[in-house]
Amino acid sequence: QLTKLPSGLIVVSAEHLPRPPLNDQAHLMLMYRAGARYETSEQTGLVGLIKGIVSTEWENVRSELSHASGDSESYFGCFFSPDYFCVRISVPHHLSQPALNVFGHFAAFKDWKNLPEISSSVVPRAPPSMQYIPSAYVRRVAYRDSSLSHSIRSSPHTARIKYTDALIRHFASTRMVASEAVLCGINVEHEKLCEFGEKHVPGSRMRAPPAPDSRYVGGEWRREVECDSAYVVIGESRRGGGRCAGYRSAGRA
């Protein structure tokens, strides 16, 4: 089922899936159009900080949900891409309503302007893996003058100094709003999901500004060669027990 609420929030649900293991689990996911590409040049890495805030909140409420379920079958995930910011939770089917109640307390479902001192809850981010580095370089080459080139990894060393609570609130209160969101549920009653969306997902009267486009797709300069194809090779090697990753381009890339 699919419903678009007056606030602009899109609610999607699928109920009573016949095949295990999904049929004994309830899955909830909120997705905002608020990925790294919507950061300005002064906000690079800000979405990563917001992810840290929401992830820390989960650690604070994990015991509450575990106590309700009597086991450790609940799962939480918070992730983002250049385009989207997502929060997901999975619980046993009979705990879908308690999970919705817990979900509604997250900052992702609140008016960020009214939240007190939020940056202090940010957790340090792990350094990027070697597998991630080549793909980040390729993205920078492909979209070098656009926010699409922004990294999805923020620096744990400068995060607390560089960004103020006001900056975090401004970004979240303009991007993480109902008109830029989709609420998904599996094995959750559609009516309950719509009711939850109307009550908890913050709305906004103004439309969020679009991300700037890039003039360059595939690099800012193409060298004339005989072949028409472009190739990007990403490899990994081990040296002295460690890993070394890199990329090499050929053709017109």
Residue 248 confidence (pLDDT):
43
CA distance 32 to 77: 14
Residue 4 confidence (pLDDT):
92
What is the full DSSP assignment across 130-141?
Answer: TTHHHHHHHHHH
Residue 2 confidence (pLDDT):
92
Q: Does 235 map to a domain?
A: no
Q: Does 93 map to a domain?
A: yes
Q: Does 33 map to a domain?
A: yes
Q: Does 132 map to a domain?
A: no
Q: Does 32 map to a domain?
A: yes
- Whether pTM exceeds 0.75: no
Structure letter (DSSP) for residue 17: -
Residue 158 confidence (pLDDT):
44
pLDDT in tens, the chain (253 residues): 999 999 889 999 987 665 555 557 888 899 998 888 888 777 777 888 888 888 877 777 776 666 665 655 777 888 888 888 999 888 888 778 877 777 777 777 877 776 666 655 444 455 555 666 666 666 666 666 666 666 666 544 444 446 777 888 888 888 888 888 999 998 888 998 999 888 888 876 666 666 666 565 544 444 555 656 555 555 544 454 444 444 444 444 3
Residue 31 confidence (pLDDT):
92
Buried b (16+ CB within 10 A) or exposed e, 3-15: eebebebbbbbee
Q: Which residues contact 93 (CB under 8 A, 6 or more apart)?
A: 23, 24, 25, 26, 187
Number of domains in the chain: 1
Q: Which of 222, 36, 189 is nearest to 100 (CA)?
A: 189
Q: Does 95 map to a domain?
A: yes
Backbone angles phi, psi at 4, to 5 degrees: -105, 115
Residue 127 confidence (pLDDT):
54
Q: Does 134 map to a domain?
A: no
CATH number, domain of 89, equals: 3.30.830.10
Parent domain of 104: 2-126+154-211
Torsion over CA: 141, 146, 152, 156 (sign): positive
Residue 214 confidence (pLDDT):
56
Q: Does 220 map to a domain?
A: no
Residue 12 confidence (pLDDT):
93
- The answer to whether 190 and 15 are in contact (CB under 8 A) is yes
- The answer to whether 87 and 110 are in contact (CB under 8 A) is no
